[in-house]
């Protein structure tokens, strides 16, 4: 948002007092995870179910999704977030090639909307998945790109080992970093890009204000 830390904390406190957001306390030294309450979702007029109080097993993933959302927002991009995608069946696809009689469906974590281009499906992958499941998800993204459902697949990985695994399985699925159909970034890189984009926006606003 381009705020200094004190301003951000002040806004968060006011939103919490108003009942628009709630907090989940993270491990000591890591701050809090803020999430919109049912009232907050209604006030924001977002078509999405309110999130339940997140359990510890989801903290890292939700934080990763929030950083990706911040990165998109700081760059002026529209998006569909995880809660919005829960009620959008158009972004639910069947995974093929997995063992078992039951159908397995999958949704990406976020959708980035780029003007004049097809949307990008974004996966936040912080924990290692089995190769068959990861390959099935990448196959799904390859089908979506081939049919024009999406324009690209973006993987945000927690570490270099996860990035290497995604890269190797993407090759088998026919996705390539060279042709623009696949982008793989580390979460730490996304954080830096988000903060840099926010700083740039703040600087432009300051210059515009001084020019008036």
Separation between Cα atoms, residue 29 and residue 41, nearest integer Å: 28
**CA nearest to 65, candidates 88, 34, 89:** 34
pTM above 0.85, yes or no: yes
Task: List the beta bridge partners of residue 36.
Answer: 21
Please, are residues 167 and 139 in contact by the beta-carbon 8 Å criterion? no
Task: List the beta bridge partners of residue 122.
Answer: 110, 154
- Predicted confidence at residue 97, as pLDDT, reads 84
> 12 and 92 share a domain?
no
- Predicted confidence at residue 176, as pLDDT, reads 86
Domain span at residue 50?
A: 1-54
- Predicted confidence at residue 135, as pLDDT, reads 96
> 150 and 197 share a domain?
yes
| Per-residue pLDDT in tens (0 to 9) along the chain, 212 residues | 667 788 888 999 999 999 999 998 888 888 888 999 999 999 999 999 998 888 899 999 999 999 999 999 998 899 999 999 999 999 999 999 888 788 999 999 999 998 888 999 999 999 888 999 999 999 999 999 999 999 999 999 999 999 999 999 999 999 988 887 999 999 999 999 999 988 887 777 777 777 66
- Predicted confidence at residue 65, as pLDDT, reads 96
> 13 and 34 share a domain?
yes
- Predicted confidence at residue 27, as pLDDT, reads 85
Task: List the beta bridge partners of residue 59.
Answer: none
> 123 and 206 share a domain?
yes
> 47 and 74 share a domain?
no
- Predicted confidence at residue 203, as pLDDT, reads 78
> 6 and 102 share a domain?
no
Separation between Cα atoms, residue 174 and residue 182, nearest integer Å: 10
> 136 and 49 share a domain?
no
Instruction: Return the HEC string of the chain.
Output: CCCCHHHHHHHHHHHHHCCCEEEEECCCCCCEEEEECHHHHHHHCCCCCCCCCCCHHHHHHHHHHHHHHHHHHHCCCEEECHHHHCCCHHHCEEECCCCCCCCEEECCCEEEECCCCCCEEEEEECCCCCHHHHHHHHHHHHHHHHHCCCCEEEEEECCHHHHHHHHHHHHHHCCCCCCCCEEEEEHHHHHHHHHHHHHHHHHHHHHHHHHC
> 5 and 97 share a domain?
no
Q: How many alpha carbons lie under 13 Å from residue 91 in its C-beta half-sphere?
A: 23
> 72 and 43 share a domain?
no
- Predicted confidence at residue 199, as pLDDT, reads 85
- Domain-ending residue, one of 16, 37, 54: 54
């Amino acid at each position: 948002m381009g705020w200094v830390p004190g301003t951000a904390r002040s806004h968060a406190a006011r939103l919490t007092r108003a009942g628009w957001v709630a907090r989940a306390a993270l491990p000591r030294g890591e701050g809090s995870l803020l999430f919109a309450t049912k009232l907050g979702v209604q006030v924001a007029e977002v078509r999405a179910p309110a999130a339940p109080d997140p359990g510890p097993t989801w903290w890292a993933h939700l934080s990763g999704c929030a950083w990706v959302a911040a990165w998109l927002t700081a760059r002026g991009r529209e998006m569909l977030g995880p809660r919005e995608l829960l009620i959008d069946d158009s972004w639910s696809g069947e995974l093929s090639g997995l063992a078992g009689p039951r159908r397995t469906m999958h949704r990406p974590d976020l959708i980035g909307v780029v003007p004049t281009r097809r949307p990008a499906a974004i996966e936040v992958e912080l924990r290692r998945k089995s190769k068959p499941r990861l390959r099935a998800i990448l196959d799904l993204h390859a089908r979506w790109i081939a049919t024009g459902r999406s324009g690209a697949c973006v993987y945000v990985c927690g570490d270099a080992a996860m990035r290497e695994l995604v890269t190797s399985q993407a090759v088998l699925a026919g996705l390539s970093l060279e042709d623009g159909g696949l982008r793989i970034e580390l979460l730490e890189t996304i954080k830096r890009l988000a903060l840099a984009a926010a700083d740039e926006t703040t600087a432009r606003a300051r210059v515009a204000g001084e020019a008036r």
